[in-house]
């Protein structure tokens, strides 16, 4: 405005400074912000940029296979074919894409268009379990991961997969993905041993993620050997850290890739043929008796066979069980619900998880005790009048004796004078009541007593886990006065000892413990580690671990028995004398011959089977609810047991059979054991013939 | 009158050098921004061709006395207005807006040319009415002049160019001596109108424009893809640049295509990502230098028309630069305004070089011995 030379008016030069100030201030603010972003907070953005470009890819490994001892496949992986679409590779022409979708739709049976994609649908979209049409799936995939193959249809037949494969040139973007799924060729024959797989459980997510497992893709063992051998079978996923473009296209490896390590193959000690024989024997015997009696007596049970000398489990049947092939590739909700609701608990392996009163088979614990402790001599007889009465005393010299209780022998006429061997052979309850619990005038000083009975039972493996390689094993119960006071709020009574002596009352054991105890006696006191695992092999066929028999203890050599002075442990330990075991075995030999409790069932037996019957009265929640628990002898329902081994002069195999609510050990369980032992020797002979 | 030889002696070489450097640097950044995208593959070559065409136009524009251009303002105005109407009527739809005119295989954006023509028209009108500048009649008439082209741009719909023309109109009216009191009165009227407009939920805006406005003021935390994605990635690109950047052609955000529209609206982010704080500040200072030269030349222009022309062009570049950088740094809503000389775009680059030609023209015809006009 000042110093104007020209007369004509011009623009306001003085206002330029405002323009400079405005631009300058904004620019300074921008540079300040730029400094903030790039220098002050640069690290935050660098991490985000790094996050953008790096992707960790887990290359799925192969799960190890499961075989039986002879190499029969029990669990393997087979390819499942999935049809996939990679949106970025579809042709640019919309018409061509539509044509592909139409043809593909006809082949795989998924509609071209179905459903509407909104935010909820898109965020909950799960390939393989969606009703959406091809166009909708492609839309979701194209928006989120255009360079990744997304599954359109899962588990299609090989024929369809081949047909799609042939069209590869005409159908860019459509592919076939081969996924590995678990199948069990032997199905429900071995389901209780092999188990099944399921998705990584929510509760174990951190644990498995740490090990490199990918949730929603990798599966882990849920039951059986699949579960216990998970770490061996599972293998290790490979890992690649790659650089990706915004569309998920892999540019290069950022780190040296780690190759997947396949899981090891596991060989079980099971002989599938014997397993099949055992299962058939159990089912046929139950069916026979249910038919013969005209009503349903028993519908569930278990059978276990083991090698006496090594502890290898040769067969293990828990019936009813389930079909593990139905659990793959996905566990169907309705089937799982059905199994969990079933009263017979088919998902539970009864052979190792059911805690049951062992009944008379438990008398062998008493047997070892009374002889080894010198309570009676083998020849000494005890009178069995059929029933005996006992004044329940809860204390030594109890000043207030309680009610008079009557104890019955299963034979109400009585066995008369009974010695040790006949006590076993006839399974005479009164003999075992008296020698274990004491009886005025016949067995002084309270007999063997509950503490010492417990010592012998535990030496045979009762009341503790066997450590078999299966999940959910139960440890049973060997009660003592302390336990009763704590759990029942009552003092121990002489009658409790009577009941414990015959495997009733509070005593609980699993079928495997019962088998293991008799096997220990058959093996002359050597208590073997029971095992299901024969060997493990890595992917190259190298044996990484093979079964070695392990003697946990030998009751004739290792001092496992605590000596008692009355009810007080002395701290001195002792062994079981071998002649005691010999006599116990002799008693069991007499069970299967003329006069023994299983004589009829073993008539004509050529395999020299020795054993022990058991009829264990019970009143569980189910029985109580169904008003099966009456009063008095025969009032309660009973389980049927038989445990045997053969040949008795050099035992190889021991077998236990258990029938839930089977009533009579001799009729319901013994024939099963006989058949399994016969099958065992028949298979042995056949194998010997087949040897070159 | 100065003779031709003398005229070229007064060519502003530092300005030209800065512009040339920025334009070549732009081609280089566009090359980096291709990042394997086949549809962008030919963009550096195309931008180079536009740069060459633009340079020829720059010299032609500079050679012919701007008073001759002044006399051609009316025909230019009419041609541009007709082109804009043509775009509006038969423009083809892209990204929800019609902005291109197809000529053979090439497309041109008349709106870019409209900016220069608007500056010329405002400069002519305000310089002619500079003594009656505070008459409301002048204001309304110049508004009609602006509306003659802005209306068609607005209807495309192209909000950003409409705003650019509004800003140019105001800035040029203001520098011509519009009284502050009148500015406030006018601003009051505008705010009132805007309030009514906002209350009616922006009835004349296209959906995507309305969305952009709401997105900026009210970002949706749930939005993962799309709406806020571009600006988020731009910020990550800028922030991860550090002092010296990840290196030319080395920026992961650019080369792996996490940054979108990176050859155009978000090329500033490419710059910041690959050249860092130091490189970015240098380029910003160069742009500021170009703007400063425009203002300096305006201040010394021999007449009001020349002064308004150079000043208007400086305002155009300053506004585009500040808005574009502000958008990249998430300080302003996404507008689609490009970074002068650097962003990809033939129409934009040629128009800018044409403008520089005009500014050089004024400088060449300013007598150094004479004091400021």
Closest residue to A52, CB basis, from B253, B272, B299: B253
The per-residue pLDDT for range A507-529, each reduced to its tens digit, is 999 999 999 999 999 999 999 99
A653 has pLDDT over 80: yes
Evaluate if residue A247 carries a pLDDT over 70.
Answer: yes
Q: Is A164 among the domain residues?
A: yes
Q: What is the pLDDT of residue A4?
A: 42
The CATH number covering residue A596 comes to: 3.40.710.10
Please tell me the distance from the alpha carbon of residue B85 to that of residue A175, in angstroms, as a whole number: 50
Query: Are residues A264 and A306 located together in one domain of the fold?
Result: no
How far is CA B310 from each of CA B127, B295, B358, B368, B370, rounded to the nearest angstrom? 13, 7, 7, 17, 18
**CB distance A44 to A143 below 8 Å:** no
Task: Answer whether B175 sits within 8 Å of A20, measured CB to CB.
Answer: no
A231/A307 same-domain check: no
Residue A417 token pair: 């004078």
CATH number, position A261 = 3.90.1310.10
Closest C-alpha to A427, from A615, A671, A642, A597: A597
> How far apart (Å, rounded) are the C-alpha atoms in residues A35 and A41?
9
Instruction: Tell which of B240, B268, B269 to mutate to test the A interface (max A CBs under 10 Å).
Output: B240
**Spatial contact of A198 and A204, defined as CB atoms under 8 Å apart:** no
A120 and A225 co-located in one domain: yes
d(CA B320, CA B340): 7
A461 part of a folded domain: yes
Report yes or no: A468 and A481 within 8 Å, Cβ to Cβ.
no
Nearest to A42 among B177, B240, B311 (CB): B240
| Residues whose CB falls within 8 Å of the CB of residue A220, separated by 6 or more in sequence, listed in order | A197, A198, A199, A200, A201, A204, A208, A213, A227, A230, A234
Q: How confident is the model at residue A368 (pLDDT cuts 50, 70, 90)?
A: very high
Instruction: Examine residue B157 and say whether the peptide bond preceding it is cis (omega within 30 degrees of 0).
Output: yes
Taking contacts as CB-CB distances below 8 angstroms, the residues of chain A near B304 are 8-11
Q: What is the mean pLDDT of residues A291-313?
A: 93
Count structural domains, chain A. Answer: 2
Same domain, A310 and A254: no
pLDDT at A339: 92
In chain B, what residues touch A13 (CB-CB under 8 Å)? 299, 372
- Is residue A245 within 8 angstroms of chain B, CB to CB? yes
Q: Is B130 on the interface with A (CB under 8 A)?
A: yes
Pair A233, A301 in one domain: no
Probe site for chain A from B124, B129, B236 (most A CB atoms < 10 A):
B236
- pTM of the predicted model as reported, rounded to 2 decimal places: 0.75
Residue pair A680/A274 in contact by the 8 Å Cβ criterion: yes
Residue-level pLDDT at B56 = 96
Query: Residue A452 in contact with residue A614, Cβ under 8 Å?
Result: no
Q: Are residues A358 and A256 in the same domain?
A: no
Q: What is the DSSP letter of B371?
A: P
Neighbours of A18 (CB within 10 A): 12
Pairing of the two strands A653-659 and A387-391: unpaired
Are B79 and B149 spatial neighbours (Cβ–Cβ below 8 Å)? no
Residues A507 and A547 in one domain: yes
Whether residue B239 and residue A31 make contact (CB cut-off 8 A), yes or no, is no
- Name the residue range of residue A109's domain: 61-268
Q: Residue B373: its chain A contacts at CB < 8 A?
A: 6, 10
Beta strands in A285-345 (DSSP E): 301-307, 313-319
Q: Are residues A357 and A237 in the same domain?
A: no
Give the bridge partners for A638, in sequence order. A617
| DSSP characters over A539-598 | TTS-EEEE----EEEETTTS--EEEEETTEEEEEEE---HHHHHHHHHHHHHHTSTTSTT
The reply to whether A181 falls in a domain is yes
The answer, yes or no, to whether residue B27 has pLDDT greater than 80, is: yes
**DSSP-based three-state secondary structure for A652:** coil
Contacts of A503 (CB under 8 A, 6+ apart): A357, A358, A359, A360, A361, A362, A363, A509, A614, A616
As a whole number of angstroms, the distance between CA B73 and CA B312 comes to 15
Structural domain includes residue A85: yes
> What tens digit of pLDDT does each residue of A94-153 get?
888 888 999 999 888 888 888 888 888 887 777 777 788 898 989 888 888 887 888 888
- What is the model's pLDDT at position A532? 95
User: Residue A213: which of A177, A263, A149, A174 has the closest Cα?
Assistant: A263
The 3-state DSSP class for residue A388 equals: strand
Q: What residues of chain B lie within 8 A of the CB of A39, using their CB?
A: 242-243, 277
Helix, coil or strand: residue B309? helix
At A687, is the secondary structure helix, strand, or coil?
Answer: helix
Q: What is the pLDDT of residues B190-210, one digit of tens each?
A: 899 888 877 777 666 667 666
Q: In angstroms, what CA-CA distances link A402 with A126, A392, A398, A494?
A: 69, 5, 9, 11
User: How high is the pLDDT of residue B373?
Assistant: 39
| Residue A511 burial (C-beta neighbours within 10 Å; 0-12, 13-18, 19+) | buried
Look at residue B105 and tell me whether its pLDDT is greater than 70.
no
Position of tokens 């536009």? B50
Task: Select the residue from A6, A21, A38 to test the B interface by mutation, using most B Cβ atoms within 10 A.
Answer: A38
A15 touches chain B (CB under 8 A): yes
CB burial of B200-214 (b: ≥16 within 10 Å; e: otherwise) equals: eebeebeeebeebee
Distance of residue B291 Cα from the nearest chain A Cα, in angstroms = 10
The answer, for B221 touching chain A at a CB cutoff of 8 Å, is: no
CA distance A654 to A588: 13
Work out the end-to-end distance of chain A between its first and last CA atoms, rounded to an integer number of angstroms.
Answer: 122
A527, A555 contact by CB (below 8 A): yes
Whether the per-residue pLDDT at B91 is higher than 70: the answer is: no
The nearest CA of chain A is from the CA of B53 a distance in Å of: 31
Q: For residues A354, A355, A356 and A358, what is the CA-based torsion angle, rounded to 10 degrees? A: 110
One domain, residues A259 and A401:
no
For chain B, how are helix, strand and coil distributed in percent, rounded to 5? 70, 5, 30
Position A559 in a domain: yes
With residue A390 as reference, give the H or E element that holds it.
strand A387-391
Quick check: B281 and A31 CB within 8 A? yes
Neighbouring residues of B94: CB distance < 8 A, sequence distance ≥ 6: B100
pLDDT at A609: 95
Residues A262 and A385 in one domain: no
**Chain A interface includes B315 (CB < 8 A):** yes
Residue A309 CB coordination number (10 Å): 18
pLDDT at B100: 64
What number is the average pLDDT over the span A450-470?
Answer: 94
Residues 6+ apart with CB under 8 A from A330: none
Res B369 pLDDT > 70: no
Across the interface, whether the CB atoms of B329 and A243 are under 8 A apart is answered no
Give yes or no for residue B48 having a pLDDT over 50.
Answer: yes
What is the mean predicted confidence (pLDDT) over B47-72?
A: 92
Q: With bands split at pLDDT 50, 70 and 90, how would you rate the model's confidence at A231?
A: very high
Distances (CA, A) of A518 to A365, A581, A610, B151, B241: 9, 11, 10, 102, 77
ipTM reported for the complex, 2 dp: 0.90
Calculate how close chain A gets to B299, using CA atoms only, in Å: 6
Across the range B212-234, mean pLDDT stands at: 62
Q: Which of A2, A7, A10 should be substituted to probe chain B, the one whose Cβ sees the most B Cβ atoms within 10 Å?
A: A10
Q: List A392's β-bridge partners, or say none.
A: none
Q: Which of A371-375, A424-428, B39-43, B81-85 is the least confident region?
A: B39-43
A16, A26, A143 ranked by CB distance to B299: nearest: A16
Task: Tell me whether residue A7 is in a domain.
Answer: no
How many angstroms separate the Cα of B62 from the Cα of each of A30, B22, B55, B56, B318?
33, 19, 10, 10, 21
Question: DSSP secondary structure string, B41-80?
Answer: TTHHHHHHHHHHHHHHHHHHHHHS-HHHHHHTHHHHHHHH
Q: Which site among B256, B362, B370 would you substitute to test the A interface, given the most A Cβ atoms closer than 10 Å to its Cβ?
A: B256
Structure tokens given for B10: 């007064």
Distance CA A177, CA A110 (A): 17
Return the SS3 of A440. coil
User: Minimal Cα–Cα distance from A244 to chain B, Å?
Assistant: 7
The answer for B 73-92 residues in CB contact with A (under 8 A) is none
CB A77 within 8 A of CB A62: yes
Predicted local confidence at residue B347, as pLDDT: 87
Instruction: Tell me whether residue A330 is in a domain.
Output: no
Tell me, yes or no, if A37 comes closer than 8 A to chain B by beta carbon: yes
Chain B positions touching A143 (Cβ under 8 A) are 225
Nearest to A10 among B272, B288, B304 (CB): B304
Instruction: Judge residue A603's burial from the number of C-beta atoms within 10 Å of its C-beta, 0-12 exposed, 13-18 middle, 19 or more buried.
Output: exposed
* Ranges A22-26, A255-259, A403-407: which has the least confidence: A403-407
The C-alpha of B333 sits at a distance from chain A's nearest C-alpha, in angstroms, of: 15
Q: Identify whether residues A246 and A361 lie together within a single domain.
A: no
C-beta of residue A91 within 8 angstroms of C-beta of residue A97: yes
Measured between alpha carbons, how far apart are the two ends of chain B, in Å? 16
pLDDT for position A7: 44
- Does A329 map to a domain? no
Provide mean pLDDT across the span A480-503: 88
**In chain B, what residues touch A6 (CB-CB under 8 Å)?**
303, 373
CB pairs under 8 A between A and B: 133
* Integer Cα distance of A246 and A29 in angstroms: 32
Report yes or no: B238 at the A interface, CB cutoff 8 Å: yes
Looking at the predicted structure, is the pLDDT value of residue B97 above 60? Answer: no
At B213 the pLDDT is: 61
Does A499 share its domain with A627? yes
């Amino acid at each position: 405005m000042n110093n104007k030379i020209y007369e004509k008016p011009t623009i306001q030069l003085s206002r330029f400074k405002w323009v400079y100030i405005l631009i300058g201030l904004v620019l300074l603010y921008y540079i300040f912000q730029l400094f903030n972003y790039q220098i002050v907070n640069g690290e935050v953005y660098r991490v985000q940029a790094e996050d953008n470009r790096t992707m960790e890819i887990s290359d799925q490994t192969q799960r190890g296979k499961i075989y039986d001892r002879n190499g029969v496949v029990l669990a393997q992986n087979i390819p499942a074919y999935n049809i996939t679409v990679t949106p970025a590779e579809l042709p640019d022409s919309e018409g061509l894409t539509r044509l592909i979708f139409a043809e593909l739709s006809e082949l795989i049976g998924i509609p071209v268009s179905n459903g509407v994609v909104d935010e909820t649908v898109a965020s909950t979209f799960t390939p393989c379990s969606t009703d959406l049409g091809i166009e909708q799936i492609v839309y979701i995939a194209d928006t989120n991961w255009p360079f990744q193959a997304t599954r359109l249809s899962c588990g299609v037949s090989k024929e369809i997969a081949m047909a799609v494969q042939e069209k590869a040139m005409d159908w860019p973007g459509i592919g076939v993905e081969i996924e590995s799924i678990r199948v069990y060729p032997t199905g429900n024959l071995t389901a209780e041993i092999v188990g099944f797989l399921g998705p990584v459980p929510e509760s174990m997510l951190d644990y498995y993620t740490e090990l490199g497992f990918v949730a929603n893709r990798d599966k882990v063992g849920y039951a059986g050997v699949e579960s216990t051998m998970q770490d061996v079978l599972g293998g290790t996923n490979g890992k690649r850290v790659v650089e990706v473009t915004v569309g998920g296209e892999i540019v290069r490896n950022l780190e040296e890739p780690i190759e997947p390590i396949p899981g090891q193959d596991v060989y079980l000690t099971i002989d599938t043929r014997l397993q099949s024989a055992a299962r058939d024997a159990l089912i046929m015997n139950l069916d026979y008796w249910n038919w013969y009696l005209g009503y349903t007596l028993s519908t569930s049970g278990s059978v276990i066979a083991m090698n006496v000398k090594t502890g290898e489990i040769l067969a293990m049947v828990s019936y009813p069980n389930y079909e593990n092939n139905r659990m793959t590739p996905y566990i169907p909700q309705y089937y799982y619900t059905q199994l969990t609701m079933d009263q017979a608990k088919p998902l539970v392996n009864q052979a190792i998880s059911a805690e049951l009163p062992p009944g008379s088979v438990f008398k062998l614990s008493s047997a070892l005790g009374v002889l080894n402790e010198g309570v009676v001599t083998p020849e000494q007889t005890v009178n069995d009048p059929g029933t005996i009465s006992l004044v329940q005393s809860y204390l030594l010299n109890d000043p207030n004796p309680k009610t008079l209780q009557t104890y019955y022998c299963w034979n109400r006429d009585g066995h008369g004078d009974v010695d040790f061997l006949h006590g076993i052979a006839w399974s005479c309850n009164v003999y075992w009541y008296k020698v274990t619990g004491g009886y005025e005038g016949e067995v002084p000083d309270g007999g063997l007593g509950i503490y010492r009975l417990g010592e012998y039972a535990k030496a045979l493996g009762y009341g503790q886990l066997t450590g078999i390689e299966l999940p959910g094993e139960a440890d049973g119960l060997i009660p003592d006065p302390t336990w009763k006071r704590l759990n029942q709020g009552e003092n121990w009574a002489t009658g409790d000892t009577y009941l414990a002596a015959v495997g009733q009352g509070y005593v609980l054991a699993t079928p495997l413990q019962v088998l293991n105890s008799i096997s220990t006696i058959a093996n002359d006191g050597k208590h073997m580690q029971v095992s299901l695992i024969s060997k493990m092999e890595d992917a190259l066929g190298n044996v990484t671990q093979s079964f070695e028999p392990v003697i946990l203890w030998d009751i004739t050599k290792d001092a496992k028995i605590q000596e008692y002075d009355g009810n007080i442990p002395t701290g001195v330990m002792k062994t079981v004398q071998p002649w005691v075991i010999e006599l116990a075995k002799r008693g069991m030999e007499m069970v299967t011959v003329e006069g023994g409790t299983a004589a009829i069932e073993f008539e004509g037996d050529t395999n020299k089977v020795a054993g022990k019957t058991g009829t264990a009265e019970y009143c569980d929640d189910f029985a109580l609810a169904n008003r099966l628990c009456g009063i008095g002898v025969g009032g309660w329902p009973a389980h049927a047991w038989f445990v045997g081994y053969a040949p008795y002069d050099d035992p190889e195999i021991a077998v236990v059979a258990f029938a839930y609510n089977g009533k009579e050990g001799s009729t319901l369980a013994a024939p099963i054991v006989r058949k399994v032992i016969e099958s065992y020797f028949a298979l042995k002979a056949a194998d010997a013939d087949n040897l070159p | 009158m100065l003779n031709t030889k003398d005229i070229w002696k007064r060519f502003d070489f530092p300005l030209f050098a800065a512009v040339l450097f920025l334009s070549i640097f732009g081609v280089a950044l566009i090359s980096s921004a291709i990042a394997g995208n086949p549809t962008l593959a030919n963009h550096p070559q195309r931008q180079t061709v536009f740069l060459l065409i633009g340079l020829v136009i720059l010299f032609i524009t500079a050679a012919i006395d701007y008073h001759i251009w002044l006399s051609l303002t009316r025909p230019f105005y009419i041609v541009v207005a007709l082109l804009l109407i043509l775009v509006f009527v038969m423009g083809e739809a892209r990204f929800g807006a019609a902005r291109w005119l197809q000529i053979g295989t090439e497309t041109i954006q008349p709106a870019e040319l409209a900016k220069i023509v608007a500056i010329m028209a405002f400069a002519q009108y305000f310089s002619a009415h500079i003594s009656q500048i505070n008459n409301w009649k002048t204001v309304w008439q110049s508004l009609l002049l602006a509306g003659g082209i802005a209306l068609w741009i607005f209807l495309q719909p192209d909000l950003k160019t409409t705003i650019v023309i509004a800003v140019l109109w105001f800035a040029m009216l203001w520098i011509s001596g519009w009284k502050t009191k009148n500015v406030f009165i006018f601003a009051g009227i505008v705010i009132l109108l805007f309030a009514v407009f906002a209350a009616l939920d922006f009835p004349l805006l296209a959906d995507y424009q309305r969305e952009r406005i709401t997105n900026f003021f009210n970002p949706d935390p749930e939005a993962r893809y799309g709406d806020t994605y571009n600006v988020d990635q731009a910020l990550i690109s800028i922030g991860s640049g550090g002092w010296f950047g990840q290196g030319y052609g080395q920026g992961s955000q650019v080369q792996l295509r996490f940054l979108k529209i990176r050859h155009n609206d978000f090329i500033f982010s490419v710059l910041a990502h690959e050249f860092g704080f130091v490189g970015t500040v240098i380029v910003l200072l160069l742009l500021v230098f170009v703007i400063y030269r425009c203002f300096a030349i305006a201040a010394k222009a021999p007449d009001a028309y020349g002064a308004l022309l150079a000043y208007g062009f400086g305002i155009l570049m300053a506004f585009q630069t500040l808005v574009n950088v502000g958008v990249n740094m998430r300080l302003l809503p996404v507008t689609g305004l490009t970074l002068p000389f650097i962003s990809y775009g033939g129409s934009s680059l040629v128009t800018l070089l044409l403008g520089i030609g005009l500014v050089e023209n004024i400088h060449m015809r300013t007598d150094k011995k004479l004091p400021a006009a």
